[in-house]
Structure formats: structure tokens, C-alpha cells
Amino acid sequence: VPGDRTAFHRTITADPLSVRAALADFSVSLTRLGIAPEHVETLELVVAEVLNNIVEHAYRDMPAGEIGIEVEARGGVILCDVTDGGAPMPGARLPQGAHPGRGTTSDDLPEGGYGWFLIRGLARDLTYARIGGRNVLRFRIDFPPSPAEF
């Protein structure tokens, strides 16, 4: 089908340096598709947060396993499929992604928890499933991304 294309496909080890290398390749692939730098930067940020969460949480109590990343570009939409063999999401559901600093002052501003806030704000149609012992996260990012839910 014209317009349907795999933009990026990679299996990496769940560690921070492999994530960094994959993100660099991801950005190059998107740039080659003609996506503007400012949108590439935003797409990279969302995928970075998703991958970081897997490294830090899903594989926290076990040796680093694999993360599968599949990205398809269709017109002004990027479809991402990220799978891992780590621990399931707590409660088998995605974090709500509220701003961690809600109701706080700068003195007691939390030092973490901004990742899901960014993902929730920039990605659309987030779905999570546990399939065959793997976490499967799917989402869509429109570009130019419209952070309407912030």
C-alpha cells in the first residue's frame, strides 16, 4: 500500500547505552523519511521515555533482556510497537501520568515521574497488553505532535 512503510525496526538489549544508540538510529531513520528536525526531536523524546521505563522498571529485578521496537510511518502519523520480556506493569495497567509536581511547591518538587507525564501528553491511543509473557505497548504519535492533553 503506498504510504505504508516500516520506518524503523530493531531489537536491543535493555540497558541505557543500547537505548541511546537505538534512539540515534531512530532519529536518522525518521530524518531520512523527510520528517522535520523539531518533530524528530519530539518523537525521539517519547520513544526515549518508553524505553527508559522498560530499562528502569520492567527489567529492574532481572538481568537485562530484550526490547523490540517497530515503527511504521503513515503520512503524518508514527505508529510504535514496543515489546519487552520484563515484569508486567503494576496492576496490569499503564500509569496515569499525572504531573508529579501537582499541588507541590518548588521546594518539594519530585525529582522523578515526569516520563509518563511526557508520554501521556505526546502519544495517542496508548494500549498495553501482556501477551505470551511479554509486555506489548502500542501508541501513535501525530506530527506535528499536538500536546493537547497537557
Q: Which residues bind other proteins (CB under 8 A)?
A: 16-17, 19-20, 38, 41-42, 44-45, 48-49, 52, 55-56, 99, 101, 106-107, 109-115, 117-118, 121-122, 147, 150
Return the number of the residue (114 or 129) whose C-beta is nearest other proteins: 114
Q: Residue with C-alpha cell 518548588?
A: 106
Return the number of the residue (72 or 121) whose C-beta is nearest other proteins: 121
Please name every residue paired with 127 in a beta bridge, in sequence order, or none if there are none.
138
Q: Residue with C-alpha cell 501537582?
A: 102
d(CA 117, CA 97): 4
Q: Residue with C-alpha cell 532519529?
A: 27
Closest CB 142 distance from other proteins, rounded Å:
15
Phi, psi of 125 (to 5 degrees): 50, 45
| Residues 118, 75, 33: CA angle, nearest 5 degrees | 85
Return the number of the residue (40 or 71) whose C-beta is nearest other proteins: 40
Return the number of the residue (4 or 41) whose C-beta is nearest other proteins: 41
Closest CB 32 distance from other proteins, rounded Å:
19
